[in-house]
Amino acid sequence: MKSLLLAAVAAVTLMSAAHAADAYKFALIPKGMDNPYFDLSRDGCMDEAKKLGVTCIYKGPATHEPATEVQIMQDFITQGVDGIAISVADADSVIGVIKQAREAGIPVITFDADADKSARQAYVGTDNKEMGRELARQLIKVHPQPSTFATQSGGPAAANLNDRLAGLYEGLKGAGWTEVKGSPAFCNDDAALAAQQLADFATANPDIGAIIPVGGWALFAPKAYKSFVDANMDKVKAGKFPLVMPDTLPVELQTLKEGYAQVLVGQRPYEMGQKAMDILLALKKGEKVDPVTIAGLDVVTKDNVDKFLK
């Protein structure tokens, strides 16, 4: 009788623990819901949450808007979610709300874009300075002779993008390249504006050697982007205007396959979404986690693009 009672208690304890894990709700906040890049983070988050027996809630601003991102995080704090992972649009703007979440007992990590001066407990994402360096290395590989260049970023307060710019400048300026007036341009993660800015750089600087963004926004507006490339295709074919672009989402891979890019340097947003769930669950259980988890980079050319498309 006693053994039956102990077995029953053990079963109830296991069921309670399982129920507690099932009840965990973790929020994943992207910079903007309209950015296809974050769709992969969402998919990784949802898939991993299903494996772990937790819930991934994916919600962010409709477009890149730091103030709205802060408000959404405050709403999640009010709702009492069990953990928050946020891709930070403005590193300074989230310091207060991250502190607020931590004081409420909610674990907070950053993914994709960090706020290392905040009370966040961990970061999972790209080594962004190294990504900038890799973009520079690939550009120099395609175009060894130093020339003039322009670059483009998303928002001026995004720490991850500023790190990429720093790495890009280190590589290009160190190799004798010169930045043109008006660079960098900021597109605020708007694909149509990004494509237009690339065209504007080319028009204003007919002899420019390269236009190399630190994010793949323009390629999410394929019609406008291809129009920009077509207008400069003679220089591209002559090897005077290399097309080295960030990220390796399906639309970007297809763009490369069609000859509208020569090299893609890609991040791993799906992996970031997966690891965000793993880290938040570990923090919720009171376990120690690595303060920084780096997701790798992929370099894609015409030689390996089919493998990535599969």
- pLDDT at 16 (0 to 100): 42
Residues 209 and 145 in one domain: yes
- Residue 137 lies inside a defined structural domain of this protein: yes
- Residue 226 lies inside a defined structural domain of this protein: yes
- pLDDT at 310 (0 to 100): 87
Residues 112 and 171 in one domain: no
- Residue 55 lies inside a defined structural domain of this protein: yes
- Residue 301 lies inside a defined structural domain of this protein: no
- pLDDT at 20 (0 to 100): 53
- Residue 307 lies inside a defined structural domain of this protein: no
Tens digits of per-residue pLDDT, 235-291?
Answer: 999 999 999 999 999 999 999 999 999 999 999 999 999 999 999 999 999 999 999
- pLDDT at 22 (0 to 100): 59
Domain range for 17 is: 2-125+269-294
- pLDDT at 21 (0 to 100): 54
- Residue 252 lies inside a defined structural domain of this protein: yes
Identify residue 266 by its one-letter amino acid code.
G
Residues 90 and 199 in one domain: no
Question: Do 54 and 24 form a contact (C-beta atoms < 8 A)?
Answer: yes
Residue 93 Cα to chain centre, angstroms: 18
Residues 115 and 215 in one domain: no
**Domain CATH code at residue 50:** 3.40.50.2300
Q: What are the CA-CA distances from residue 208 to residues 48, 202, 227, 235, 240 (Å)?
A: 45, 7, 18, 10, 9
The strand pairing partners of 153, in sequence order, are 186
d(CA 212, CA 152): 7
- pLDDT at 23 (0 to 100): 87
Whether the predicted model's global pTM rises above the 0.75 cut: yes
Residues 36 and 49 in one domain: yes
The strand pairing partners of 179, in sequence order, are 149
Tokens, residue 285: 């259980």
Residues 253 and 273 in one domain: no
Residues 113 and 132 in one domain: no
Question: Do 158 and 88 form a contact (C-beta atoms < 8 A)?
Answer: yes
Tens digits of per-residue pLDDT, 13-46?
Answer: 444 444 455 589 999 999 999 999 999 999 999 9
Number of domains observed in the structure of the chain: 2
- pLDDT at 82 (0 to 100): 98
pLDDT in tens, the chain (310 residues): 544 444 444 444 444 444 455 589 999 999 999 999 999 999 999 999 999 999 999 999 999 899 999 999 999 999 999 999 999 999 999 999 999 999 999 999 999 999 999 999 999 999 999 999 999 999 999 999 999 999 999 999 898 999 999 999 999 999 999 999 999 999 999 999 999 999 999 999 999 999 999 999 999 999 999 999 999 999 999 999 999 999 999 999 999 999 999 999 999 999 999 999 999 999 999 999 999 999 999 999 999 999 999 8
- pLDDT at 13 (0 to 100): 43
